[in-house]
Structure 1
Amino acid sequence: MNGTVVAVSRSGEYTFTKPVRQSITLRTGHGVEGDVHAGVTVKHRSRVAQDPTQPNLRQVHLIQQELFDELRADGFDLAPGDLGENVTTRGLDLLALPEGTLLHLGDQAVVEVTGLRNPCLQIDAFRSGLLKRVVGRDEAGRVVRRAGIMGVVVDGGPVRAGDTVRAEPPVGPHKMLDRV
């Protein structure tokens, strides 16, 4: 299971979108160097308000370019970094990966998948109606989140557009991703 890094993004400020960079550096146990969401403990404002000591399971945010392609067909013109992701990929179904999958990014970096991004109303402030396109329900009425996945850095290193993404599923039963 392989894909490619399309783009990498980071922001040192709390902004919804993140500027695309030539490269980012992942730091073990910390996240994206220079990104506002990096750290050992949670950095998302709503989660800090609940409990600032909880572990940061959202150090790195990844989205597949195929989502942007699909949304573009529906009239939403989105580019890498627009939804606040750090890594935009192509060719790998990120949403189908089990919890605990190791994503090998480039030659060194490894991110362990922790769960699904749970987008908030800010997404509609960015593009009206977009939240309904990235969060919906399946035939059984279960919530389906499509705004990317989250992970923690287990091995640091540089990541840049054009790098390979290789998914290494965990040993044992497949545990579907849930929101983190």
Structure 2
Amino acid sequence: MNKTGKVISINISETKGVVKNPIQEGFFKENHGLEGDAHSGEWHRQVSLLGIESFEKMRAKGVELNPGKFAENLTTEGIVLYDLPVGTQLKIGDTLQEVTQIGKQCHHGCEIKKLVGDCVMPREGIFTKVIEGGVIKAGDSIEVLLK
């Protein structure tokens, strides 16, 4: 398993259930998530991550997708996120995060699923909680920490 990767995009939205918009950098608050994002808060799914490799699978089906389209906070490259066990810690930019969930139940009426008959976020997206807060910028490295 690859132990390093990088952040392609940081994505944010003020309301739930909508596509997130890319930003240059974001502040990820300890035990809260991305400041200003609708999904942040004191729960186990503070930050959502999806690999650009998952986007490529959907692009192969003829759908042009940009980071944030799956409502993920961090679009990553180089790590097979869904292979990481729950409890794995990730050093991302200035932050330390812990994997809390792999995949999720797809919400009813997913636009991507309607368009192509499939959505990768429920299978390949992961969720983390912020253990140590800080800034994450596009291009920052991601390091899988061994326990």
Q: Mark yes or no: TM-score above 0.5.
A: yes
2:8 corresponds in structure 1 to 6
> Which structure is larger by alpha-carbon Rg, 1 or 2?
1
Which amino acid in structure 2 is aligned with residue 116 of structure 1?
I
Aligned pair partner of 2:118 in 132, 139, 157: 132
Q: Say if 2:63 is the partner of 1:112.
A: no
Runs of 4 or more consecutive aligned structure 1 residues displaced over 6 Å after TM superposition: none
Preserved CA contact (<8 Å) 2:53 2:77: yes
Partners in 1 of 2:53 and 2:128 — Cα distance?
19
- Cα offset for 1:132? 3.1
Question: SS at the partner of 1:112?
Answer: strand
Matches within 5 A, 1:143-162: 145-162=122-139
Given that residues 121 and 131 in structure 1 are in contact (C-alpha distance below 8 angstroms), is that contact kept between their aligned partners in structure 2? no
Which residue, out of 45, 49, 53, partners 1:66?
Answer: 53
TM, length-normalised to structure 1: 0.74
Q: Which structure shows the higher strand fraction?
A: 2
Q: Contact 1:16 / 1:122 at 8 angstroms: preserved in 2?
A: no
Contact 1:29 1:154 in 2 (8 A): yes
Kept in 2, the 8 Å contact 1:32–1:59? The answer is yes
Question: 2:40 maps to which residue?
Answer: 38
Cα shift at 1:75: 1.2
The CA deviation at 1:111 is: 1.1
Q: What percentage of residue pairs aligned between the two structures are identical?
A: 34
2:82 maps to which residue?
Answer: 95
Asked if the contact 2:113/2:119 (under 8 Å) is kept, the reply is no
Is the Cα contact below 8 Å between 2:82 and 2:103 reproduced in 1?
no
TM-score normalized by the length of structure 2? 0.90
Q: Secondary structure at the match of 1:67?
A: helix
Does the C-alpha gap of structure 1 residues 93 and 63 become closer, same or farther in structure 2, counting only changes over 3 Å?
same
For 1:150 and 1:62, the matched residues in 2 are separated by 6
1:117 and 1:148 in contact (8 A); partners too: yes
Deviations 1:84-104 (A, max 9, x none): 000000001101001111111
Shift of 1:15: 3.8
Separation in structure 1 between the aligned mates of residue 72 and residue 55 of structure 2, nearest angstrom: 12
Task: For residue 118 of structure 2, give the secondary structure of its aligned residue in structure 1.
Answer: helix
Other-structure match for 2:21: 19
Of the three residues 49, 52, 73, the one matched with 1:86 is 73
Q: CA RMSD in A?
A: 1.7
Unaligned stretches of 5+ residues in structure 2: none
